[in-house]
Amino acid sequence: MEMREERRRVVVTGCGVVSPVGNTTADFWDALLAGRSGVGPVTRFDTSGLPVRIGGEVTGFDWSGCLTPQEARRSDSFTRYAVVAATEALRDAGLEPPAGVDPYRFAAVIGSGYGAASAIQQQYDVLKGQGPRRVSPYHSVLTAIDHPASLLSIKYGIGGPSCAVSAACATGAVAIGEAAELIRHGRADLVLAGGADDSLTAVDLAGTANAQALSRRNDDPEGASRPFDRDRDGFVMATGAAVLTLEEAGHAERRGATILAEVAGYAATTDAHHATAPDPTGAGAVRAMRGALADAGRAPEDVGQISAHGTGTVLNDRIEAAALREVLGPDHLSRTPVTAVKSMTGHMLGASGAAEAVAAVLSLRDRRIPPIRNCDHPEEPDLDLVVKGARDWDGDVVLSNSFGFGGHNAVLVLTRYTG
């Protein structure tokens, strides 16, 4: 399949991660390859009486090298995660500080599925307990979903477009895809793109559990996230952020940057079916996968690895598997390794698609695929699930799926960059 047109190419030159399995990209990747879980009992609040008491918390987090005390105090945790991840992504790209960059060609697209859930809860408690005079005058800023992009623009002189996107659990992939479009269409040369979420609150945990979406393996937290396993019983709520430094290929080459991968294709669709359940036909997921491959100028048989959305919910896993069969065909699918990062991180919600894109980039760089943890009894025997430790791999095309509540579907095609 030929490229649809000659266009500006988008490459990845840096990655940053804050996650339940590590607060740097290197720690995140080491944990994934080792199959280590970041899921455990929730410790940040009293979970007594809640039906679900486990989650993927970020621990050992240190913002001090990236934020001033005042900036940290006036930010929700999801913003702090995003800024630390973005700072690492810039450092990884050799752009911290971004010297020599045209500020008006520099952009930021940092999304979130749920925004400042913790800060909203805290300020509500202040209002009820101490009265309106004690509510922070920065409430409207620190609880805004665009606060990470805004704060990053101030810190790094980003004079081009800056914004937030929100597409539930597909947010991180949508942010990367839309950021790539800014570069393709000549509106930016450099974009920080990714997602962040920290909605692991008592209210969100209770509500999502009541929706029957969460695993209730309270006595076995590390075994709770089980994508594609017959014994799965829901996803595990988690927190964190992931940000990629995206550049126009020529811009990266001229400054001598190390290019990690190319964002070759992107597509997004909507099921238009139900507030939480995916369309049982999988039609929207199929269209998104086919659209991303067409955007990349790639045929289904070119796909060498699948980074599945893989939440560990019964409906999502079955529908994703069926959609993959339709797009790739049973024969090629049976020979294409499938991984599912959420089996270790839990579901980082609006950050998950970006974190999985980072994992895909590192898989292309290091020629290894992280395993799916806890998939002891695979329900889909025709899928080549990577279940017995990390696997060596020599492919050059990764299909990365992200789906979300509200019927959001977003797919990225990440490839090895060949110049």
* C-beta separation of 267 from 292 below 8 A: yes
* C-beta separation of 166 from 145 below 8 A: yes
CA distances to 28, 269, 310 from 318, in Å: 27, 19, 9
Catalytic residue IDs: 169
Residues in the chain: 419
Q: What is the distance between the alpha carbons of residues 336 and 338, in angstroms, rounded to a whole number?
A: 6
